[in-house]
Amino acid sequence: MKMMTGDAKAEMGILSGRQIPGRLVLMLLSAAAFMLFFLMPADAEDIELRGMLRSYTGVRLHEDGADIPVNEQTVDLSLEGWGDMTQITINPFGYVGADPSDGIDLGIREAYIDFFFPSMDLRVGKQAVVWGEAEGAFITDIVSPQDMRSFILADFREIRMGIPAVRADYYEGPFTFEAVWVPTFTPTQPPAADSIWAVQPDLSQAPLPVSDDLDFVEEGVDKDLENSEIFGKISYFGSEINAEVMAGWAWDDQPLITGIDLNSSSEIDTIYQGYERFGVFGGSLSTTFGSTVFRSEAAAYLNKSFTVKEAAGLGVDQYNQLHALAGLDWSIGGITLSSQYIFQYIHDYDTEIMMAEEFDNTLTFMVQDSYLSDTLTAKFFSYLGMGAFDTVDALLRPSLTWKFEDGVHIETGAEIFLGDDDGNFGQYKDNSLVYAAVSWYF
């Protein structure tokens, strides 16, 4: 988990999912509004406003007592309008945090217009794109960056950030051909610098001592046409199998340490972070064996950049990486179960690579059951990270949701982090918390 300072973000003009979108987004939205105004029939058949209100409070228990690091009120709206062959969708949202001085955090997660043709759909505007078969892992699902505002978001939908894009889907029998053009790069939204989820890059393996007064400087990606991202996918939807094959020319959504500066004591006092290109191709499939659903997904990341130790400090080198998943979904006596094995491997691994292991293995397990006519749902989801099988860290997520009445959910649960400080989950072990949330859907 990398971190950049708010100042650095401002300097580099990095846009968060919650800030006012950039110029291009506004242009796309304006274009969408223009098209909506002129192309939508005067007697637009329907306009609908729906949404969700949520109050979420997390209590962290520790030796000194308890604190409330999460006390958030969320408004999430969706305005949809339909024409004969078009649809607009606007999804504004607002967060009010625990600290009133932070004010209201407003944004537009998505704002797009759909054009529907007999064998083709076209979507233009800020949109979230979801691909693949994995749950809780991002393998071929790399088009939309993630909102890591908090390591744990109350709603899975909120993890994906909308990006300005043009997406076209062409349908031919059971096949769908999809192309996505992302004109400007949007990185993953990191946690705020003062968030409990913000972590410093692990520089313990750095070849030089690190200053206590460390600065981070982030180098953004210029909004040039040559920096746009493009993705393509062919999918098959059939009785025996669902399958997808995809490829893309993308930016890594996570910032990477690309260089350093030293102070007069030859300590690292400035870290330069940036974003690097890579190619990707992969696919996914799902099928059934009897009453069990088998899912798998794999992607090869070509020439993906990693931070490496160099004689003069830190630099960047490219490697090929494999990211794959196999999962099963089944049920026993009405209880739903699901398990996934997720595997990462860096080809031609070099020990000079920092903050990435040659092998990384993660197991997920989910069990869910409902009672009282589905009004009470108990769920347990866990990640078990095993690194190169020699370390263990985990995230355990038990929860209980009561549908108090139609559209009103009361949820309580826990987020329990286990493991060593250098583990993906263990690094947050001081952030284990219990929570309660009330959500109203309308």
Partner 1 sequence: MRNKAVRITAAVLVLLSFGLFGISANMSGLEIMEQVYNRPSGDDMTATLNMTLTNSRGSTRDRSIAQYRSDEEDMEKKLMFFTAPADVRDTSFMSWSYADGRDDDQWIYLPALRRVKRISSGNQNDSFMGSDFTYDDLGERHPSEDTHTLLREEELMGKTCYVVESIPRTGGEEISRTLNWVVKDEWIGLKKKFYDDDGELYKELSIEAFEKISGFWLITDMTMRSVQDGTSTRISMEDVSFNDNLSSSLFTERRMKMGPPR
Residues that bind partner 1 (CB under 8 A): 45-46, 50, 82, 116, 121, 128, 130, 133, 135, 155-157, 160, 169, 171, 176, 235, 237, 239, 242, 286-288, 290-293, 295, 329-331, 334, 336, 370, 372-375, 403, 405-407, 409, 441-442
Residue 233 beta carbon to partner 1: minimum distance, rounded to whole angstroms? 13
Residue 239 beta carbon to partner 1: minimum distance, rounded to whole angstroms? 5
Q: Which is nearer to partner 1, 225 or 372 (CB)?
A: 372
Q: Which is nearer to partner 1, 24 or 179 (CB)?
A: 179
Residue 427 beta carbon to partner 1: minimum distance, rounded to whole angstroms? 27
Q: Which is nearer to partner 1, 44 or 210 (CB)?
A: 44
Q: Which is nearer to partner 1, 293 or 316 (CB)?
A: 293
- Tell me the two tokens of residue 16: 């968060």
Q: How far, in whole angstroms, is CA 199 from its chain's centroid?
A: 17
Outline where 288-434 has alpha helix (H): none
Residues 248, 254: Cα–Cα separation, whole Å: 16
Residues 168, 230: Cα–Cα separation, whole Å: 12
Residues 304, 318: Cα–Cα separation, whole Å: 5
Task: Please report the sign of the dihedral spanned by the C-alpha atoms of residue 364, residue 257, residue 305, residue 205.
Answer: negative
- Tell me the two tokens of residue 39: 């192309």
Q: Which is nearer to partner 1, 12 or 113 (CB)?
A: 113
Residue 371 beta carbon to partner 1: minimum distance, rounded to whole angstroms? 10
Q: Beta strand pairing status for 210-218 and 268-274?
A: parallel
3-state helix, strand, coil in the chain (%, to 5): 10, 60, 35
Torsions phi, psi for 154 (to 5 deg): -65, -25
Residue 406 beta carbon to partner 1: minimum distance, rounded to whole angstroms? 4
Q: How far, in whole angstroms, is CA 393 from its chain's centroid?
A: 20
Q: Which is nearer to partner 1, 137 or 268 (CB)?
A: 137
Q: Which is nearer to partner 1, 80 or 202 (CB)?
A: 80
Q: Which is nearer to partner 1, 234 or 302 (CB)?
A: 234
What DSSP state is assigned to residue 317? E
Residue 276: partners with Cβ closer than 8 Å, 6 or more residues away = 251, 252, 256, 258, 304, 305, 316
Residues 369, 336: Cα–Cα separation, whole Å: 6
Residues 362, 342: Cα–Cα separation, whole Å: 5
HEC string of 146-179? EECCCCCCCCHHHHECCEEEEEEEEEECCEEEEE
Q: In terms of residues, how long is the chain?
A: 442
Residue 35 beta carbon to partner 1: minimum distance, rounded to whole angstroms? 19
Q: Which is nearer to partner 1, 66 or 241 (CB)?
A: 241
Q: Which is nearer to partner 1, 239 or 265 (CB)?
A: 239
Residue 229 beta carbon to partner 1: minimum distance, rounded to whole angstroms? 19
**Closest by CA position to 109, among listed 154, 75, 152, 58:** 75
Residue 331 beta carbon to partner 1: minimum distance, rounded to whole angstroms? 4
Q: Which amino acid appears at position 202 of this protein?
A: D
Residue 321 beta carbon to partner 1: minimum distance, rounded to whole angstroms? 24
Residue 153 beta carbon to partner 1: minimum distance, rounded to whole angstroms? 12
The residues that bridge with 400 in the sheet, in sequence order, are 378, 412
Q: Which is nearer to partner 1, 35 or 293 (CB)?
A: 293
Residue 122 beta carbon to partner 1: minimum distance, rounded to whole angstroms? 13
Q: Is 386 helix (H, G, I), strand (E, B) or coil?
A: strand
What DSSP state is assigned to residue 101? G
